[in-house]
Every structure is written in structure tokens, then in C-alpha cells.
Chains A and B, each alone.
Chain A
Amino acid sequence: MALTRRTFITSALALGAFTIVPRRVLGGPGFTPPSDELTKGVIGIGGMGHWHLGNTGERLVAVCDVDEEHLQEGMRIGGVKGYHDFRELLERKDIDVVHIATPPHWHALISIAAAKAGKDIWCEKPMTRTIAEGEKVVEAVGAYSRMFRVNTWFRFSGDLFYDSGGTARQYRKLMRSGLLGWPVTVTIGAATGFNWKFYHSGRTDLTPRWIPPQLDYDFWLGPAPYKPYHPHRVHYTFRGYWDYDGGGLGDMGQHYLDPVQYILGKDDESPVAVEADAPAQHPEAVSSFRRILITYADGCRVILEGEREKDDIPFIEGPEGKLYKDLRSTIVNLKEKIAQLPEPESVVTDFMESVRTRKKFALNETNAHRSATLVNLCKISWQLGRPVHFDPATQRCKNDEAANRLIDPPMRAPWHLS
């Protein structure tokens, strides 16, 4: 059970006063004052890319998109150069951080290429579209000693799941204390703050259309299988297709599941079983689900609740007590008790600080890969229509060849991981 694991220890100490040397002064004395400005390039500037163009702490110098219309819009920003091919953007020596806001089927390839090029990486959620892609990103980011963050934040900032009434830090303390008993069940759904079925269903009635001239559709597809063009596959609606993402779960799953792994102390493990209760899925178009049950080796469970929207469901339930929204609980004086518990390890919550000091960001490639794995495992059970059993050590399913082929599907040439 989680309590026997090594106690987390607080440390606000800097790992070291290491300083990244911005590209343009490479070869200089090796020390850069923290006030020195970092630079960024944003790849994929259609949807979430807009957000990344804004002030995230670095100066924008380059944008990249395979849709000429997006690119022209981005290039209206002063001092910014536009690229069609992300590999050309990565060749620039004066870029410190690369923001990846493409659809998810590109996240891993671009992350790995950016790591090879010596860029630090700020990647949109979900971190990767498959588990094997996540493994390769972890490998590359580690080997090339890069800094990496995924663009979700509930584990270190704000109210957990928007309105649970507490921060992830508070929940982490509570879970570690065992006050609710162990194992616990965490439920996430409309009743606890988010409707998983929200948006992003694919369509099964797509008839081929002409590819618009401003879009390099073949490059947009990249590693994904070639399918005839239809506008619903691409911008803003691509999440409804398994080839590029996984519906509302792909969109928001990591957002909500990442802090769950953190509060349960499962940042270096994965579940052993996932079972989706859903209508049969089309091979291309994502539809909805009723419930997905995630089980860990120690008996902890996470339920993605697609129904019971109006019920007052306990957010977290253990043998000793229940916890509802707004920190209501069957345990008396819970807030006071939480305040007295040992503090969890402190983390870096400013990515620019990570880039400058080379201290890992709170949500980095390793723990984000584990939370993306939750999403990707759920997608597999959901697609196959059966429970899958997972080995957290090998990161492969047990006795399920079809599931493992979804864990590591081949990419369309010439794209490859590694």
C-alpha cells in the first residue's frame, strides 16, 4: 500500500545553480543572468497554438504550421519567421524552447526531434498518442538531457479538477496519511466536475473532399495512415478520430488523470487493469463511453464516470471515509487535519525556471508519460471492447497481442520513432 513507500521529503533546495546558455551566446562565459531572455518557436498554431503564441515567458521568434492560412496569421506577429517544416525550425540555433501544439499524433515525433536538436520542450496534452511513443520520448528527453513539460497543471496549480475545493497538494497529503484508509477509489465525471463525453465524436459518414490548397494534408497526416481528406478530420475536429487522438478522453483525460496519479503516489507506476463500458467503437471515429474502470496492483481504482451526472458522488472513497466536492467528508475536521500533515516534496512550477536551472519541471516527461499511459490504456480497452491487463514494468499488456499492437503501432513511412 502507498503508505509503505518511501516517504516523500520536502525540498525547496535548488538541485544546482546550473544555467542554460541561450543559443545565441553559446560559447560565451557559460553563465547567463536569470533575467536573460529565452526564445521560443511554436509548432502547430491553429487551435491551442494560439495560446502558446502568447506570453509564456519566452520571446517568440518562429512559428510553424502545415496550413498556410495559419502560418500567414502567425507571421503577422512582428519579428517572427514562419516555417512549413518543423525540422527547419529545429535547425535554428537561436531557439531555446519549442512549443508543440500540433494534434497528438505528431507530439512524440516532434518532441524527439526537438530533443535531438537540443531544444527544451513545452508540449500540449495528451503527451503522446500511444504508450510506445511515450517511452521513446522519455528515452530521448533523458538521453539528450532536455527539459520537458506537458501543458496541463492541476497537479501543481489551482483547485484540483476546477472545483473540488482543494489543491492537489492537499489531496496528496491526505492520501499519504491514510486517513481515508487504503485502497481508495477516485471518481471523475460530470458530477465531480467534468463531463468526459464532452465534444469530439468522429463522423462515420465522411465522403472524400478536395484538399484545400493552403493545407499540406500529407504532412498533416505524417505518421498516421493515409485516409481520404475531409475537413472534419483536421483542424478543431480531429480529436474525434482514433488516428490522431481519442475523443474527449484524449483531449481532457491527461488534464484530469495526471493529478490523480500524483495524489495517489503512483507517479512511477501504472494500473494493472482497465475496463471500458462503452458502445462498440468504429475503427476510425470515436464515440462515447459510459464508464471506464482503472485498477492498480494495490487495489486503488479510478472510475471515469460518464453517467450519474446529477448524483453527489464521493470524489474519493476509502474504507475509512469518503470525500465529496468542496472537501466535504465523513471525517470530521478534515481541513484542519490536512493542515497538520507532513508536506509533500516541493516542485518547480515555472518552466522557465526549469530551463534555466535544469531542475525538472513538476510535470515532466516521466510522470507525464505515466499519466498519458492511463489515457492511452483506457483508449485501448475502449477500442477493443474488452478489459486489458497491463504489466507496469514492461509497459505491455499480458496475453493480448491485439492490445500490444495498439501500444506500439507502426508509423507510416518515412516517419519512425527513435
Chain B
Amino acid sequence: MINFLPLSMTLIAALIISGCASTTTSTAPAPPISIDQLLGTMPARDTVEALWLYSSMTRMGPDAVMAICKKLGPPATETSTQAEFALQGLASFVTAEGRETERMMFVGALAKALEVARPPDQSTFILGRLQVAGRGESIAPIARFLDDERLSGPAAQALVAIRDGAEAPLLAALAASHGNVRVMIIKSLGDLRSPGAFDPLRTEVASQDPRIRLAALYALANIGDSRTGDILAKAAAEGPANERGEVTACYLLLARREAETGDAAGALSIGRMLYDRPTATEGVQVRAAALEVIVRSKSESAIDDLIAAMADSNGQIRSAALRLASRIPGTTATRRWVAATERGATRREIVSMLGTRGDGSAYPAVISLMGDADAGVREAAVDAAVRLKGEESVPLLLSLLERSSEASDITAVRMALESLPRERVIPPVVASLSRVTPAACVMLVDHLGRFADTLSGPLIGLTKSAVPSVRLAALRALGAAGKEADAPRLIALLLGTESEAERAATEKSLVSLCGRIPDPENRSDGLLAAYRAATPVQRARLFRVMGRLGGSKALSLVSAETRSKDPDLHDAAVRALADWPTLDAFDSLLVVARSDGNLNLRVLALRGAVRLVANSPIPPAAAVRYHARTLAAAVRPDEKRLALGALANIRTSEALREVIPYISDDSLGLDAAMAAGTIASGRADEKDGPGSAQVARAFIESMVPGRFRSRVEHNFDAAEGMGEPPEGFKALFSGRNLDGWKGLAGNPVLRANMTPEQLAVAQARADSVMKAHWSASDGILVFDGRGENICTDTDYTDFELMVDWKIEKNGDSGIYLRGSPQVQIWDPSQWPEGSGGLYNNEKNPSKPLVRADVAVGQWNRFRIRMIGERVTVWLNNVMVVDSVVLENYWDRSIPIFSSGQIELQSHSSPLCFRNIFIREIPVRSPLFTGNLFNGLDLTGWKLIDGKDGNWGVEQGLLYTTGDGGGWLSTAREYDNFSLDLDFRLSEGGNSGVFLRSPRQGDPAYTGMEIQVLDDYADEYASLQPWQNCGSIYGVQAPSLRASKKAHEWQHYHIVAVGPHVSVTLNDQLIVDADLTSHMDKESTHPGLKRRSGFIGLQSHTRRVEYRNITLKELAWKEENDTH
């Protein structure tokens, strides 16, 4: 292509100066450029260049246009393509406003060009440009082609597009036409709605050619002549049965045309005929359309038809009537609809419709329906009221809540309130708080809690409510809605409450309320002020909040109290410090770690110090210095291991330097060598050199003492991938051949729907495709960039998969799990979020947490764990997907398939895979819900370490005599569950409920025990609080006494999910524990970290009875699993 840029730019500038819309009469000198040169610059790069090209061409006159037409030649030549661009561009250019002269010139030239005999494709092309630019003047030149078999179609279409003046030539051509041409002319006359075509076409409906019959029916209906009704009636009665549906559609089309042209009576009679005359062959949609025609005909009585339709047995007719209701506006219609709400099965739907219809005169009726006995009608009325009058309706909505505690009413009002602007809603809501029912009050308070910095006064008032649920809601809401000035009141509540739930809510609200104070230094001021007068128990609570808020004043106070003589205070201070949000607590933590008398607290402080440094945004060198101090402060090997582990995560020379001296240490040598190996294999600061693997190997050779070397090397090999599956894994890929793999035969849905024979055929074909593009080469599975996915020939359910992969620049791939896409693999320079994300997820996260890819061309390693529908992905040992639900790509409406093949995705780029290992994870049995005790015998229980006859069943009660020791265990283990049971104690009775216990050791410690005890008995008066009834024995005391006296039945509701254990005794929540905050007791109470075990009942002293023991297993959270 010739480049005319410099010339064209000059000319463009000249054109712009002289005015763009120049005409052929312009006096400007013709540009010194030929039509060939102009064509050479086709297509124009932008609108400015286009303007120049087309205005230059039009100024050259009709000869130039005809010259361009001449260049239309054999397809796919450059000249012809340029001519096509030019003619299309000119057609657009000349049709712009103000270019009528150019347009006339252009279409005149096209008409002349059409006179020349040329191949049909070229004529078609020119007719197409006339379809763009032609008007009346082009009718005759186009009409010449109406009798041409090949060109009549494009000609008729151009005529229809031009419209005005097209009727006559089409009618003239009709007479002599036949076959396809006739169909096309009839159809075109119909498109034009040509009134003159009625008479010529009325006989066509009797044609023997079905195509002509149907085209004529359409044309007549679209023309809309009222006489067509009779023709259609005849066609319906006499025409072929399989064309009746088309006749009905034509009836409806005719009715619409009649309604448009004002023939309401004609439209109405068709509408009534089709509505009242449902035939066996016509579906309900025809009646719905007929009802629409009745409404369209603007018949006064259409409202009657709609109201009558509400009694129709077919729901589609009723819903059509409700939608059509908005077409008949006005208060008269509203009155009729309101009257229809008085009775009938569809009252609720009509009320809803009144809301969407939008006529405010329905409002009084809607308001009174808010008092209806039917909850559905009330719900619809609430919605309609707020639609009709918006915020004006709020006081009335709230007055409903003064009468009702029903969930449906409360929900309806809540949704109405959420749809309104807050500033208008808050005052009436606040004013109503004292009047509404308690359940409604909880909802309203929660609603207010969405709004920060609004008036908190009423909420403070509600914290004194007699209703516990209201108190709790207010305390929750204050977190967002409270102001700084509310802090003292909340602190007082925190110090005063005896309810575990209220304490937790208050703490949380205080943290978020005080957290909004701009200067971090002042956030704990209120807590510090309250501190002096507080009791030790109260001070411990204050510490917990301070520990979340931080600040230097709070830090020095808490640090000081780590030396307190009071053991509880001392304990609380260290715990707060270990949770501190900022690194400035580090020094104080080290002091505790070095010198505290309590071993548990020392470990806690050390862990806190390591965590603080690891979470702080500081440079690696600084982090190494901190960890080095931690390492020095640690006393026991176990403590030092913590710090060595932290150092191993920092892959720098400094970290290595700190670790190396410990390699010669007797008890820490192996840990240090492992840490050093890890650092050496992935040193981030190793810019040059032969690569991390060699560096690490050399290091292991030279530095690690012989006695550790094999262990370190093994660990290193596992990390580097030397072809051996890690323990528990098996290899999916032999490295030598494709055994165990197959081709992809369609997606899982398709496959599931194939017969075995069909599948076998498809699979054979897929296998041959696979073998053509995938190969095993030197331990590497190589894909050549074409073809389909490769798939395991085994299906997997829950599993852990290791796979190394390598891509080229712009490469793209992925791992399909259970036959579904995918764990993403792609070039991070192209897609910066990096690989590993669940790319096809829509609802759940689809991107990796961090980018952990190495440079393209190097090996990456995935570790992918899939359990249930959740997937966790580590890329190069960094977690990039954290237990995310993988959605079902093939069917978004259902969860991921429960099992399926693993696939390596082809994506038109060469790929390499190796070290493909899998470990199958046994599938958990379905969650159990039901009775553990059958009321008849001890079926399902096993006696552990006890004496026979110690346990028995009588009158539906399970009892222990209490003199045989040991315990009764469930048949199987449970991890997460809620457990309900009734128990009754004799005086001084003592038993216990064991959770997650093994059948060895003392289950109170190897698992844990929820105490069952008559703690009113004198003999137990001196027990510690963490020994009382309801405690997690030895771990956490009940927050208040909820137990009843001996001989009364009592009820336990115990929930254990992951580290969260709560105990509700006689409907009072008394323990809400997070076991991870008790990990300091782990050494003496290892059961605290168990995730699974037997449930048991203890036989201790004296008789205790149980009944109604029911268990509901709860969803298992994968992240708690310790595989």
C-alpha cells in the first residue's frame, strides 16, 4: 500500500480550514491526486482521513465513482477490496446531513454502473450501496432487477429499505413472478404494509405453494386491512392443520395493526375470540396474547376482563393480567383493583401489583391491609406502602411492629427500611424503639447498627433493657453506631456484666468504637481511666481490649502488670501482650520470654514475639535481627525451634548466618540444618550463580554435619523434586510413558449423558488425539501446544495433588480438578495476579492471594488439596488459595461434582509437567444427626476402663451408679457437633461429658470434659470456678452460675466447632471459649488441640441420670484439618 500520509495531512489541514462540508461546486482547486492514489490509501485510518478521502472522491464527480465500480473485480484482490471500502465509505459519507448534492451524484453514478453487465456478486454489491444511500431516484434502477432470479432478493431488500415509492414496482413485478421470487415480493409488500397489495394478495392464501400461502397470510395481517379477518377465518377453517398456529399468530398481528390504526372494535373482536376460544392445539400463551389485545384495544371493559382473569385456573393468565394492569392507569381502575383485594385467593398478588402499579390513591387501602389477618397480604402491603409513598409510610410500618412479633412482618419492614435513605428513617425508628415488640426492637437496633456515628443515646438506653436479646443487640450495634463519648458507659458495662455473650459483644464494640479515635495514642484512654478502680477480674477484661487497641500508654501499663503478684492479672497481661497489634510490644514480650516463672506464659510470649515480627512490614534484614534476639532470649530447645522456623522463612544471607551456628548444637542441629537447607534452596538475594538448587546442594555438602546430611538432603529432595513421591503419595506419571492417562472425551455432563458404547467411541478418538500431542520425555510430560487436555484414567474424590509445571512466555494452562476447570496457570508478566487462582469461580474468590510464580521458563510447584468442594493451593510453598469453594463450571447451579478425573489443560501453548503425585484422602462419612441413646439399652456405647453393672438403662433413662469408675464412650469419633442432653444429679452427684477424647488416658485431659456436678453441695464449696458445673474442666470457668439443684432435670447444649467450644446450661450461655487462647495449657492438657474423638459420659461418684442425648454433626471446616 502506498503511503500518502504527508500529503494527506497537508490536504486535511487545508480542508479543515476551508470548511469540511465542501461540495462539488466548491471553487477550491481539485487536489492534484488521482483516484488510484486515493484508493491506495483505503481503508481510512480514522474519521478525519476518511473525510478527506471521500470529499476528494466526490469532488471528482460521477466518473470517479464509476471508475471505482469498475475496480470491483475478482474477490479477494487488493484492488477490489479497496473499491469495496471506497464505495461503502462513500455511501455513508453522502448520507450525512447536508450532502444531498453529493448523494445524488453518487447514486446516479451507481445506477449507471448497474447498467453495465457484470457478475451477479458485483451487482449485488452495488445494490447493497443503494440500499444505504438510495432514495426515490433509485427506485427505477433497482426495480429493473426484480425479475432476475439471482438479484431480485437484494433488489427487493433495497426497495423495502427505501420504502417510499417501492410499492408500485413490487406490485408490478408480482404478476409475472413465481417461486422464490414471488415469495420474496409478497413478503416485501408485507414488510412495506402496502395497502394496495390487499387485493392482489387475498387470493394468494389459496396458493398450492405453502411458502406463498404463508407469506401472503403474513403480508395481509401486517397490512392490517380489517377485511383480512374473514380471510384468516377461512384459512383457519379450511387451511392445512399444521399452518393453524401461523394463522393464529396472524390473527394477533392483525389485531395489533387494527389497534394501531384505531380500529379498536376489530382488535377487540379478535381478542375476545381468541381469549374465549382456547383450542386444544393452542397454548395458554395465545390466551395471554389475546388478553393483551383486549387491553390494547382500549376497551373500557378491559378492566373487567383483567379482574375476571384473576380467577382463571391458569397461573400464566393470572400473571399476564397482573402485568397488564399497569396498562390501564387511573384512579377508577385502582378502585376496582382495591375492591378485588377484599376476597379471593389472589389478594396478596393484587396488593403487590398495586405497589408496582404506582397509583397513590391505593395507599389508604394498602395501609389498612397491613392489618390483614393473612401474613402474606400484610407482607405485600408493607412492600406496596413503601413503593407508593416511600418514607412517608415509615411511621405506619413501624406501628405494625408495635402489634407484631411475627418474623415475616419484621422481615418485610426491615427490607422496606433498607430501601430508604438513612437520614429519613433513623428518627422515626429511634422514636419507635420503646414501643415495638422485643423481636422487632432487636431487628431495628441491628438496622441502626449499620450506620456509623449516628445517635447512640437510645442504644445506650437499651443496654439497660430487661430483655436480654435487646440488650445484646444494642451492645452489638454500638460498635458502629456509638461515639467516643459512649466509651465510659460501655466500659462500665464490660466490667459489670456477668453474661459471657454480652462481655464478648461489648469487647468487640469497644474495640471498634475506640478504634475510630484518630490518634492511636488516645484510644485506650477510657480503659486506662477505668483501670485504677477496677478489681483484678475486671482489669483482666480491660487488658483484653487494650491488647487489641494498642498504644504506648496502654503498653507500658500492661507491660508493668506482667510482673504483677496477682496470678490472674499477671496471666491476663501476658496474654494481652502476646496479642498486641504493633511491634513496640516486642521488648516487653522478650522480657517475659526470658524471665517469667511460668513456662506456659514464656512460650506464649515467645510465640507473640515471633508473630509480631513476621506480621510487621519491615525489611528482611530487620526481621532477622529481631528473630535473632528472640532466639537468644529463648531458653529451652522447643522455644528456640520457634525462632529457627521463623528465620527459615526469610530467605536471605543474614538469616542463614544466624542459623548456621546452631547446626553444631546437639539438640537443635537438625532443625538448624533443615532451616539452613530451606534458606539455601530459595535465597531471594542470590541474583547470579548457577541457581538455587545447586547453591543449596553445595551448601549441604559443605556445611551440614554428616549425621544430619541425609535427613536434610531428603527434605531438600522432596522440595526440589527428584522424582520420588513424598510419603503417602503415589506417582501419577511414570516419567517414561503415558500409562494411567487418557484423552478428553467431552465435558463431564456430555460424558454422563453418553451410553457406554458412545463413550467408548468418543474415548478412543480422544485417546488418539491425546497421543499425538502429549509425550513422556526424560521424566517430563510434554505438550506440543495443540490438541486437548490430558486426563487421569482414574476418578478422584478428596485428594492432595503435587505437580511441577513450566510454561513459556505468554503460556497458559491449568489443572482441572474432578474434570472441572481449574487451578490457573499462566504467564505472570501477562497476568500480574499470578497463577494458582480458581479462575472460573464467579461467586467465590477466583484470584490467588499473592503472586508466587517464579520467572517463566522455570519450574513451579503446585500442592493442591481438594476436600469436599473446597480447594487449597500452594504455589512454590506459598499458600495462594485458602480453602475456597470451587464452583461447578459445567453447571453453576450445583456444587462441584463429588469425584472426577484430574486434567492438565491444553491452551495452545507448549507446556511441561513433572513430579505428578497424588495422595487420596479418605472421605468422611455423611454428617450424623440423631439420638445417641435409644432409651432401651446401651446399644452404640462402649464401656471404657469401668466395671460392669456400673451403667444401666431404666424407664428410658441412662444412669450410672457412680461407683465403678471409667466412662461410657460413643461407638465412633466426632469432630464438630452440637450435643444436647438432659441430666439429673443426686445430691453431691458428679459426672462429666467428655468431648473429642481418645480411649486412652484420662479423657478429661486427653480430650476435655464439660463438668456435670451438684455444685450446690457443701462438699464442693471450696472448688475452683473452673471446676464448677458447666466449666470446661480445668480450662475455662462458667461466666455465671446457671446450674439447678440436685434432683432437678437440667439441660446442656454444647457446641464444638474447630477451636470454638460453647456451653449453654439451662438456656444460659456460660462458656464461649476459643481453645487457641488456652494453648499454654497444652503440655498438661493435650486434648485441647484435638480436633476429633469420642464423646463420653463419666462415672465418678454417686448416681447421675441422662436422657434425650441428641447429636448433630456440623459442617467440617477443612482448614481445621491436620492432615
A residues whose Cβ falls under 8 Å from a Cβ of B: 6-21, 26, 30, 50, 53-57, 60, 76-80, 91, 93, 115-118, 142-146, 153, 157-159, 163, 204-208, 225-226, 228, 277-284, 287, 290, 336, 339-346, 350, 352, 358, 383-386, 399-402, 405, 409-414, 416, 418
Contact = CB atoms under 8 A, between A and B. Distances in A.
A177 to B, nearest CB: 9
A401 B95 contact: yes
A116 B419 contact: no
A412 B316 contact: no
Contacts of A12: 415
Interface stretch (B60-68, B245-253, B537-545, B702-710): B245-253
Contacts of B50: 280, 385
B549 interface: no
B747 interface: yes
Nearest to A119: B285
Interface stretch (B85-93, B875-883, B973-981, B987-995): B85-93
Interface in B177-209: 180, 183-184, 187-188, 190-191
Contacts of A163: 847
Interface of B: 42-47, 50, 75-76, 81, 84-85, 87-89, 91-93, 95-97, 121, 124-125, 128-129, 131-133, 135, 153-154, 156-157, 160-161, 180, 183-184, 187-188, 190-191, 211, 214-215, 218, 222, 245, 249, 252-253, 256, 283-286, 288-289, 292-293, 313-316, 318-320, 322-323, 346, 348-349, 352-353, 355, 358, 379-380, 383, 386-387, 390, 412, 415-416, 418-422, 450-452, 747, 749-750, 753-755, 758, 762, 842-843, 847, 890-891, 893-894
Given A16-B319, A283-B128, 12 more contacts: A9-B390, A14-B352, A17-B349, A55-B894, A76-B750, A77-B750, A78-B755, A116-B249, A145-B288, A145-B316, A204-B76, A280-B50
Nearest to B92: A384
Nearest to A351: B893
22 contacts: A16-B349, A18-B319, A50-B747, A77-B754, A117-B283, A142-B323, A143-B289, A144-B285, A144-B288, A157-B842, A225-B124, A225-B157, A280-B88, A282-B43, A336-B452, A340-B451, A342-B422, A400-B97, A412-B184, A413-B153, A414-B187, A414-B214
Given A16-B349, A402-B132, A10 B762 contact: no
Given A205-B76, A280-B50, A78 B84 contact: no
B319 A358 contact: yes
A91 B847 CA distance: 45
Contacts of A91: 245
Contacts of B762: 76
A336 B453 CA distance: 12
Given A76-B758, A204-B81, A405-B161, A18 B315 contact: yes
Contacts of A358: 315-316, 319
Nearest to A31: B315
Contacts of B190: 416
9 smallest CB-CB distances across A and B, nearest first, come from A55-B891, A18-B315, A118-B283, A145-B288, A413-B184, A16-B349, A402-B95, A358-B319, A118-B285
A96 B451 CA distance: 46
Contacts of B319: 15-16, 18, 145, 358
A15 B188 contact: no
B47 A277 contact: yes
A416 B390 contact: no
A153 B887 CA distance: 16
A18 B316 contact: yes
Which secondary structure dominates where chain A touches chain B? loop
A118 B314 CA distance: 14
Contacts of B416: 9-10
Nearest to A6: B358
Most buried by A among B128, B161, B253, B318: B161
A115 B283 CA distance: 11
B91 A402 contact: yes
A145 B215 CA distance: 25
Contacts of B292: 142-143, 145
A331 B252 CA distance: 55
A228 B42 contact: no
Contacts of A30: 313-315
Nearest to B412: A13
B86 to A, nearest CB: 9
B75 A206 contact: yes
Nearest to B454: A340
Contacts of B318: 16, 18
A1 to B, nearest CB: 16
A24 to B, nearest CB: 13
B88 A281 contact: yes
B289 A206 contact: no
Given A144-B289, A205-B76, A405 B132 contact: yes
A279 B44 CA distance: 6
Nearest to A208: B75
A252 B352 CA distance: 36
A405 B131 contact: yes
A10 B451 contact: no
A414 to B, nearest CB: 5
Given A118-B283, A280-B44, A416-B191, A225 B893 contact: no
Contacts of B380: 13
A345 B387 CA distance: 10
B421 A204 contact: no
Contacts of B43: 279-282, 287
A281 B218 CA distance: 35
Given A206-B75, A418-B218, A413 B749 contact: no
Nearest to A23: B283
Contacts of A53: 749-750
A15 B322 contact: yes
A79 B386 CA distance: 49
B81 A205 contact: yes
A55 B92 contact: no
B747 A412 contact: no
A237 B67 CA distance: 33
Nearest to B891: A55
A278 B319 CA distance: 47
A143 B87 CA distance: 42
A14 B729 CA distance: 52
Most buried by A among B135, B289, B292: B289
Nearest to A206: B76
B749 A117 contact: no
Contacts of B379: 13
Contacts of B749: 53-55
Nearest to A158: B842
B95 A7 contact: no
B769 to A, nearest CB: 15
Contacts of A14: 352
A12 B160 CA distance: 47
A16 B322 contact: yes
B191 A78 contact: no
B81 A282 contact: yes
B891 A54 contact: yes
A386 B92 contact: yes
Contacts of A282: 43, 81, 84-85, 88
Contacts of B93: 385
Contacts of A204: 76, 81, 84
B1067 to A, nearest CB: 32
Given A144-B285, A358-B316, A342 B418 contact: yes
A96 to B, nearest CB: 11
B285 A115 contact: yes
Contact of B153 (A340, A409, A412): A412
A228 B412 CA distance: 61
Nearest to B255: A143
A186 B183 CA distance: 47
B323 A410 contact: no
A12 B415 CA distance: 8
Nearest to B451: A340
B170 to A, nearest CB: 12
